[in-house]
Amino acid sequence: MANTLPYLKTYGVIKMLNKVNRRLVTGLSLSAVLLLSACASPTQNENVEKVNAEEVKTEVIKPHLGLNQEPIPLKVERVGENEVNVEMTAQITDIEIDKGEMYKAWTFNGEVPGPLVVVEEGDVINFTMKNMDPAIPHSMDFHAVRTSPSKNFTNVEPDETGTFTYPADNPGVFMYHCGTAPILSHIANGMHGVIIVKPKDGYPTDDQIDKEFVMIQNEWYNYNDLEDFTNGSPKHVVFSTKALKEDDRNTNGDTFTLKDEPLLAKEGDRVRIYINNVGPNEVSSFHVVGTMFDYVYEDGNPNNVLEGMQTIMLPASGGAVVEFEVVEEGSYPIVTHQFNHVQKGASAILKVTKDGLDDEKATMSH
Ligand SMILES: [Cu+2]
């Protein structure tokens, strides 16, 4: 962390500068900051900082103005029995987070949460990040791997590409996120997602499952407002679903999509949800109304099995595999049982019909 501190201090100044000049002026701007703090009395200094914070907060930083980079599909290529290449972008893309409310998000591949990455237990991941952000370095921290963060979770500079290699030896449903300082800004602005490491021998209940979904919970705050990220409470708490297979749906984290267009299952189906709460700040009390989880694999590890659970607690970054049966048709709200968050958007509908197709009938909401 120590070597990122100078970046933190000069962040406000640096972010306004273009890439070419940045390295040259870093030293200068740091001196300027030091000079300013030396000249101003503590009171004046506080005022200056307050005004500056007021000015920049909730604004799109200059190099991102007018930038809306088209989502770029995730690239995953198996190059050996236990080796996989994963290529992602860091990019700036507009995301509709509530009806009519756009957010110029800092993203992986133009999605928030980022695209679902699936690898197998025992794979070596060769990870490449192409940073398309013209102004800010980004990085990748996969919770699925054991590696030296100072070597393999390091910054990729604007318009540059970085490659890192590490093994994924533990099965589970893991969070990934940008780890560039200030980390909270990068995660809260959209740089998070999920990587599933499939267990070598599967889950003991694999052959019972009729339908599988991936769901992610995340929060939205005032735009690019580190003060609100730090001390505020979320404006929206949302769910999204990500594609496990080619024809699966892939949505961004917003307040409405999974209510307007529910997830679908058939009466009697045994449903599995791979769930992760990427936060950044809140926990999730994950619950599906009208059923209970026959099996829960905490963090998605087949060894961490629980039975007959009404609610599963997901810490920030925590994941689980939950399995349940939908015994009769109807609409089953999927929520965090922290209902202040449901009020802010955190509910989705699983619609269960005789044939598993949408009957277009109205659903129950929470
Ligand atoms: Cu980032």
Distance 71 CA to ligand 1 centre (A): 16
So what's the pLDDT on residue 57? 53
pTM, 2 dp: 0.84
Binding site, annotated residues for Cu cation = 138, 143, 177-178, 186, 191, 337
So what's the pLDDT on residue 230? 97
So what's the pLDDT on residue 21? 36
Do 94 and 105 meet the contact criterion of CB atoms below 8 Å apart? yes
27: which 2 tokens?
């030293």
Distance 177 CA to ligand 1 centre (A): 8
CA-to-CA dists, residue 301 to 144, 172, 276, 295, angstroms: 11, 5, 13, 12
Distance 337 CA to ligand 1 centre (A): 30
CA-to-CA dists, residue 251 to 95, 118, 217, 262, 263, angstroms: 10, 17, 12, 12, 11
Distance 11 CA to ligand 1 centre (A): 13
Distance 186 CA to ligand 1 centre (A): 5
Do 108 and 86 meet the contact criterion of CB atoms below 8 Å apart? no
Distance 137 CA to ligand 1 centre (A): 6
Distance 139 CA to ligand 1 centre (A): 6
pLDDT per residue, tens digit, the chain (366 aa), is: 333 333 333 333 333 333 333 333 333 343 333 333 333 333 334 443 433 444 445 689 999 999 999 999 999 999 999 999 999 999 999 999 999 999 999 999 999 999 999 999 999 999 999 999 999 999 999 999 999 999 999 999 999 999 999 999 999 999 999 999 999 999 999 999 999 999 999 999 999 999 999 999 999 999 999 999 999 999 999 999 999 998 899 999 999 999 999 999 999 999 999 999 999 999 999 999 999 999 999 999 999 999 999 999 999 999 999 999 999 999 999 999 999 999 999 999 999 999 999 888 877 767
Distance 173 CA to ligand 1 centre (A): 21
- Tell me: cis bond preceding 113? Omega within 30 of 0 counts: yes
Give the integer Cα–Cα distance in Å for 355 and 8. 55
Sign of the CA dihedral with 70 first, then 93, 321, and 143 last: positive
So what's the pLDDT on residue 363? 78
Distance 141 CA to ligand 1 centre (A): 10
Binding site, annotated residues = 138, 143, 177-178, 186, 191, 337
What one-letter code names the amino acid at 195?
Answer: I
Do 125 and 145 meet the contact criterion of CB atoms below 8 Å apart? yes
So what's the pLDDT on residue 194? 98
So what's the pLDDT on residue 95? 97
Q: H/E/C letters for each residue in the chain?
A: CHHHHHHHHHHHHHCCCCHHHHHHHHHHHHHHHHHHHHHCCHHHHHHHHHHHHHHHCCCCCHHHCCCCCCCCCCEEEEEECCEEEEEEEEEEEEEEEECCEEEEEEEECCECCCCCEEEECCEEEEEEEEECCCCCCECCEECCCCCCHHHHCCCECCCCEEEEEEEECCCEEEEEECCCCCHHHHHHCCCEEEEEEECCCCCCCHHHCCEEEEEEEEEECCCCCHHHHHHCCCCEEEEEECCCCCCCCCCCCECCHHHHCCEEEECCCEEEEEEEEEECCCCEEEEECCCCEEEEEECCCCCCEEEEECCEEECCCCEEEEEEECCCCEEEEEEECCHHHHHCCCEEEEEEECCCCCCCCCCCCC
Do 307 and 295 meet the contact criterion of CB atoms below 8 Å apart? yes
Distance 275 CA to ligand 1 centre (A): 23
- Residue-range domains of the chain with CATH: 2-56 (no CATH), 75-198 (2.60.40.420), 206-353 (2.60.40.420)
Distance 154 CA to ligand 1 centre (A): 11
Distance 187 CA to ligand 1 centre (A): 7
Give the integer Cα–Cα distance in Å for 360 and 255. 20
CA angle, residues 102, 106, 108, in degrees to nearest 5: 115
Distance 106 CA to ligand 1 centre (A): 7
CA angle, residues 249, 334, 198, in degrees to nearest 5: 55
Distance 12 CA to ligand 1 centre (A): 15
Q: Is 105 exposed, middle or buried (0-12, 13-18, 19+ CB in 10 A)?
A: buried
Distance 345 CA to ligand 1 centre (A): 25
So what's the pLDDT on residue 3? 37
Distance 271 CA to ligand 1 centre (A): 34
What residues flank ion ligand 1 with Cβ within 5 A?
A: 138, 178, 180, 186, 191
Give the integer Cα–Cα distance in Å for 364 and 366. 7
Distance 204 CA to ligand 1 centre (A): 37
